Structure 1
Amino acid sequence: MQITRSTTETGTIKGPADWFTGDVYIDAVAAAPAPSRLSANLVHFMPGARTHWHRHPLSQTVFVTEGIGLCQRRGGPVEVIRPGDRVLFEADEEHWHGAAPNRLMVHLAVNEGDEDHDVVHWLEPVTDEEYAAAPAQG
């Protein structure tokens, strides 16, 4: 058994601007040593914040814990996601996810990576026009 205590060294980090639009905060949940390939982060998106387009060579699952969010796979419609919703982005599927314009959204992001596969490949920002294509969140 290993317990990692919450300290300033493992505290919340601000999501970098080359990965996100808007204010995003990340708390590491799981980062087990090899041979495990699992990583998990609790990601807090402030209203209007979102990831850039990206893909995961070994897929990604996000589980919404709070608020109202949006997600989209390349070429598909923008979908509204709510607490309890689970989204599987398939391997190498280009996508984005984030908060609704007027609500925060928190999700647990679960990823895999290994010596042959990076966890994520970041692409270009989601445009305001792409983001604005979301359906009503009411």
Structure 2
Amino acid sequence: MKYLLNTNLACLLLLLYSCNCTPVDRNSKAENTSIIFPKGDKNTNQNFKGEVWVKSLVETDSLNETAVGNVTFAPGARSNWHIHPAGQILLVIDGVGYYQEKGKSKVILRKGDVIKCPQNLAHWHGASPDTAFVQVAITSRKNGPTVWLQAVTEKEYKD
């Protein structure tokens, strides 16, 4: 009987330890997020403002002209205006972000949203000022590479 009690106690302690149970601060502003794809490498080109990380998930090749990438924007980071000659699809994975097409109002994006960017239409996307934003970008290179335009102004970003 004593052996059974010790075994049950040991199993309970092992279960609790494996849960890594820690108290949760309900007042904390930390987000409960889970990583689906790696964050990737920090962007170093001038096509983005702020800290942006890119992880290529699918490269284009002779059999497939579609590229897929995971893009993580730090709060306030965003792309320049740009055009995709064959369009683009954005899958919002986490956070709060913005998407805007030239001549239209900015759209707020949240986890689970999907954006279909029309071909040859100038647009930009990025994180809200206080929340990181993660997207999977699906881009066909069928009609040519992305055409990068001017930076998004502070007024455009804030409006």
Match for 1:35 among 56, 63, 76? 63
| Counterpart secondary structure, 1:68 | strand
**Is the aligned partner of 1:93 residue 2:127?**
no
Q: Which amino acid aligns with 1:120?
A: T
1:76 is the counterpart of 2:104: yes
Worse overlay, 87-96 or 30-39:
30-39
Q: Which residue of 2 aligns with 1:60?
A: 88
Secondary structure at the counterpart of residue 131 of structure 2: coil
Q: Secondary structure at the match of 2:156?
A: helix
**Bigger Cα displacement from structure 2, 117-126 vs 45-54:** 117-126
Aligned length: 122
Unaligned runs of 5+ in 1: 1-10, 134-138
Q: Counterpart of 1:3?
A: none
* SS of corresponding position for 2:157: helix
What whole-Å deviation, never above 9, does each CA across 1:80-111 have from its counterpart, x for those lacking one? 00001000110001000000000000000000
**Cα offset, 1:18, TM superposition:** 1.3
Structure number with greater Rg is 2
Moved over 3 A (4+): none
Q: Does 1:46 align with 2:77?
A: no
Structure 2 residue aligned with 1:112: 140
- Is 1:25 the counterpart of 2:53? The answer is yes
CA–CA distance in structure 2, aligned partners of residues 34 and 77 of structure 1: 38
Q: CA deviation at 1:13?
A: 1.9
Aligned partner of 2:157 in structure 1 is 131
Q: Is the Cα contact below 8 Å between 1:111 and 1:119 reproduced in 2? A: no
With 24-33 and 121-130 compared, the bigger mean Cα shift is at: 24-33
Which segments of 5 or more consecutive residues in structure 2 lack a partner in the other structure?
1-38
Quote how far apart the aligned CAs of 1:32 are: 4.2
Question: Any idea what SS the aligned residue of 1:47 has?
Answer: coil
Structure 2: distance between partners of 1:17 and 1:36: 25
Structure (1/2) with the larger strand percentage: 1
**TM-score relative to the length of structure 1:** 0.84
Percent sequence identity over matched residues?
31
Shift of 1:31: 1.0
Taking the aligned partners of 1:27 and 1:16, their CA distance within structure 2 comes to 13
Per-residue deviation, residues 15-64 of structure 1 (Å, max 9, x unmatched) = 23411000000001111421211100000000000000000000000000
Give the number of the structure with larger relative contact order, counting CA–CA contacts within 8 Å between residues 6 or more apart. 1
